[in-house]
Structure 1
Amino acid sequence: MAQAKPESECRPRGRPPVRSDEETKRIVFEAARHAFAVDGYAATSTEALARAAGISTKTLYRLFPGKAALFEAMCADRLEQLLSAVDLQAGDEVDIETGLRAALLACADIALDPEVVALQRMVLQESAAFPDLAANFYKNGISRTATALAKWLRVRVKKQLIVLDDVDEAAGMLMGMLASAPQRAAIYGGISLPSRKDIERRVRNCATLFLNGCRVTSA
């Protein structure tokens, strides 16, 4: 009969793995997105955020100086998904219309995301008491989305696939056409956000309307 191993040999050696700050930040972002969207900015305390993320308040303050800094970082992190998605469509393997649809769909996935729209609703409700909240949301949300799309359009202008006098203005117009009406309907009218099928149809229509006005035609 085999002898049982001593307890010291069965127990894992060494200290338990320590979670990195980046991993902890992602957990905090997830907890914060849910808490801000459900309870609002003013009603959400740093203690509640730390508890929801499973960390101490001391750790939370070490990662973020305060609740405003956490909100700003959370919005910036959410928009990185958009920037990556748009950048992936910068190659030459697709035609201009297919590429524009892909870029717009990436924008719509962020602008019409239920959590993002819920955060936008919260910002509008609390902007009077916390004006910096609205400014940060614009800088890290609305503005960055249009900037990413403008970057995509600028490459196509340089390749002489489209002609635009003001690329940044055109990007803002495209974003408005794509997302503003559904956002307003959801925030002010209580209407459900469009389904994936409806978003894809809206993307196709926006791309067609846009390109019919700026596509380069042969002489």
Structure 2
Amino acid sequence: MAQAKSSGECRPRGRPQLRSDEETKQIVFDAARHAFAVDGYAATSTEELARRAGISTKTLYRLFPGKAALFAAMCADRLERLLSDVHLQANDDVEIEAGLRAALLACADLALDPEVVALQRMILQDSAEFPELAATFYKNGISRTATALARWLRVQVKKKLIAIDDVDEAAGMLIGMVASAPQRAAIYGGIPLPSRKDIERRVRTCATLFLDGCRATPP
């Protein structure tokens, strides 16, 4: 004979607990990243995004005024999460070259993240029809990464460990040196993104070039 379940085993009755808006937004962001990367921005409708996320279009429009607002929020959310993992150490216990390598590695991890590169590829494909996509990506991603690195460089200048006239320009140069070529190779040439080992080797080379230069010392 079946026995009654104990009170601790009873399932709660009534309507299931609803998801919060923030949880729903994350589901929409995940669906949008995949849809945009596979089908492109222009070919992806809000109805398709709602279907992929398992919500109604009414709910989608309540959370985001339109597809452009969704794209901007998606980029900001993803890059915010990646940037939160970018720890550019600037304390007295870290030697300048080790600190620069760590900073450049953090920036390279962001710039060469497969999802970030996929977004860039999609933006390039649709930039003529939707120029605001590139501006959004630049503001929320590229510019913020350079600002974070410039902040780290500025601390090193104040500590008199390096001498730079324009830290913002130097930060852009460093990010370009460590990430631009692999990005272009992946986006335009279809070449796989570099492995972790290759990224670390590139970071070491860039740090050495920046700190020591490559001009041969005369005898």
Return the TM-score normalized by structure 1.
Answer: 0.88
Tell me the equivalent position of 1:128. 128
Write the letter of the residue equivalent to 2:96.
I
Runs of 4+ more than 2 Å apart: 1-7, 13-18, 81-93
Question: Aligned equivalents of 2:86 and 2:10: distance in 1?
Answer: 50
The structural deviation recorded for 1:159 is 2.0
Give the direction of change, closer, same or farther, for the CA distance of 1:3–1:176 in structure 2 (3 Å limit).
closer
Unpaired runs of at least 5, structure 2: 214-219
Write the letter of the residue equivalent to 1:153.
L
Write the letter of the residue equivalent to 1:177.
M
Tell me the equivalent position of 1:110. 110
Question: Aligned equivalents of 1:54 and 1:174: distance in 2?
Answer: 42
The structural deviation recorded for 1:65 is 1.0
Q: SS at 1:41's partner residue? A: coil
Counterparts of residues 1-219 of structure 1 (less than 5 Å) = 4=4, 10-13=10-13, 15-87=15-87, 89-213=89-213
Question: Aligned equivalents of 1:70 and 1:42: distance in 2?
Answer: 13
Write the letter of the residue equivalent to 1:60.
L
Is the Cα contact below 8 Å between 2:88 and 2:106 reproduced in 1? no
Write the letter of the residue equivalent to 1:100.
L
Question: Aligned equivalents of 1:201 and 1:148: distance in 2?
Answer: 22
Is the Cα contact below 8 Å between 2:83 and 2:110 reproduced in 1? no
Question: Aligned equivalents of 2:2 and 2:24: distance in 1?
Answer: 44
Question: Aligned equivalents of 2:208 and 2:104: distance in 1?
Answer: 12
Return the TM-score normalized by structure 2.
Answer: 0.88
Is the Cα contact below 8 Å between 1:79 and 1:145 reproduced in 2? no
Unpaired runs of at least 5, structure 1: 214-219
Is the Cα contact below 8 Å between 1:82 and 1:107 reproduced in 2? no
Is the Cα contact below 8 Å between 2:35 and 2:44 reproduced in 1? yes
Question: Aligned equivalents of 2:107 and 2:3: distance in 1?
Answer: 63
